Structure 1
Amino acid sequence: MKSRNRELVGLFDSGLGIHHAGMLRSDRGLTERLFADGLLKVLVCTATLAWGVNLPAHTVVIKGTQIYDPKAGGWRDLGMLDVMQIFGRAGRPQFDKSGEGIIITSHDKLSHYLRLLTSQLPIESQFINSLKDNLNAEVALGTVTNMKEACAWLGYTYLFIRMKMNPLAYGIGWDEVVADPSLGLKQRAFITDAARALDKAKMMRFDEKSGNFYCTELGRIASHFYIQYSSVETYNEMLKRHMSDSEVIDMVAHSSEFENILVREEEQMELETSARECPLEIKGGSSSKHGKISILIQLYISRGSIDSFSLISDAAYISASLARIMRALFEICLRRGWSEMTAFMLEYCKAVDRQIWPHQHPLRQFDRDISLEILRKLEDRGAELDRLYDMEEKDIGALIRYLPGGKVDLLITPDFTWKDRFHGAAQRWWILVEVLCLLQVLLLDHFSLLQFKVPVQFSF
């Protein structure tokens, strides 16, 4: 009776439950409580949630070992760590005396999982692939300031432990091990290569004579927004003082966060159809990887529909990183003092957050309460917020030819009714002082409006 999900209610009568990311949070919490209390005997959930749901069970069944990985751009086998993590839900000591784990897979994969379960092969570190990003984060935090501290930091990692245990797996020959048993020279070489690369990308300054590291604004932004080193290299090359809308979207599409997105033959027809509905030019066309990413970005902002399962998965993967990438580009432009590009990127930050294009009316973010017909009339008549604010209710109603809909709540000053589902915990603004003729930012400040907070006066 507490849920509006008819499937959930119908399955409950049979002692069954479902749990996946597409459900309402209240329904997920209700399902977890019912299963924990023993009212649900069987809980069917996705693999991702099976890792994170902290619910003990007597028997855990893994049905199928092929999972779709958007990062890899295709299907992959469930790893042994994943299998053990999921099986760890079965037979918790404090809840049950015994537990069972059942894995259902294809016959050709059976020997593979049996060997992994019985042989207990060692796990090698993948840390070296992200050494530059992690070193930049430590430098930005101030915990690593020179070569000596960086080598000590690397010595605490699992990578260094495995380097000493299995050096060949990390490209270290036996002659190097004999000459340097502690691997101190190799450790220093790894740090030096990473520091040089970060210095070249302007993410930090590396003084090779003194061995000191100095963080830069670009490095802090990359660390704060989790932007990969290779993406920063791309932005250094493509980001300019003046860019068009399509150039910005194309630059974001070149981010290394999306490098694993693949173009599949079966998606071409839908991509070509979607490309015709996109408001911006698709650089490279729909048949290229970056063109596909550009289409999915535009579909996300436009709230367009997608039919193909693989495209839906790729679009979800792209949208998960899109907001932080846009915010990072905004910060980069801001720190460089590019006033025009800063305002431009701030518009796209809001476009991604609210899924409305900069050229569309701001009231489109309230499309649940304002009909699309009224929104179209506001856009067709060029009724900007400043103009609406100075108009009477009857004048607004006459403008859109809908008298009952003349009243509009505007987000101009704190003089409005605060609603959490519209405004969240706070509303934030960047205040910029710029010289128009020079297109240069002079002063800036950040203002957060909290609920019931009085207006704040700024002095420059």
Structure 2
Amino acid sequence: MQLQAYICGAPIEDFALVSDTAYVAQVSPPKIMRKQVPHSIALLYQNSGRIIRALLEIAMSRKWANASAVLAAMSKSIEKRLWPFQNPLRQSHLQREVIRNLEMYADDFAPIELAEKSAMEVGQLIRSNDKHGSAVLTAAKQFPTIDIRYALRPLSNDMLRVEVTLEKKFVWNANVHDGAEPFYVWIEDETGMSIYQSQHILFRQVTKTIDLEFVVPILSEIPGNITVRVISDRWVGSEDEMVIDLTNLVMPARNDQYTPLLDLPLLSVGSAFGSSPLRDAYSRLFTTFNPIQTQAFWTLFHTDCNVLLSAPTVSGKSTLVDIAAW
């Protein structure tokens, strides 16, 4: 309850509730109460915010997509003292009258939609003048918005590489965005419950686009879709998603064929190299090749064919590489 009151900015006059709210929210108490609140409470700073951030790190490490999105929204709500359902332009330096008109007449418009209008259109939309419309337009253009593009590239029958390009679509203001704007980027499954892969990125003033690569496993069957989600680490309401349809995706066919190991008599070093000087060099190490070396020797030593050799550890592959080099 105290945390809700802190986020809402509800006026609290009771001393006990003021101290409880300061402890839960981890903020300094109001000036009029600082002399009355114990020093230990006054030193607390952002307790609930740290707890939510810790839970967010746990959810991200365990790849919980839905829980991570909810915890990210909660942490920003505490830090900004703004509920996710409220107008995100409350975080801008707009006059209270402008914010009130914005929420009353244009609350259904997202900042990216307002940014596409003119100052006159925004002013008419919020039932105000062009000056206030220009202020709202500037705030909408500075609100962090990211454009998402993607490309799919199958790596194998069970691995899909998703190349994601993020483009900055907002006007940078050093007083508003400081030195960098952090974002969480992840790819979640069709159900929206699990994260395949995630990254934490930074947009700076000189950054135009950021290219990322994610690898998505295709275990049994191709899912209907996956989702690329981008969430700001600082701004409430600054998040976007791109649903990638995989219904027409064609993956490479599964190939389970392999070359059987033939039951051949072991090849001796003498018969393999004949009178070559290699005969004396290798005969000091061993007298016969093992079954894998026996089967692969002719192709490696007498032809220039490409060979892919997959064999267990300590099966003589390094020796075959030396022979191929000779």
Q: What range is the shorter-chain TM-score in?
A: 0.3 to 0.5
Highest Rg: 1 or 2?
2
Structure with the greater relative contact order (CA < 8 A, sep ≥ 6): 1 or 2? 2
TM-score by length of 2: 0.45
Q: Which of the two has greater helix per residue?
A: 1
TM-score by length of 1: 0.33
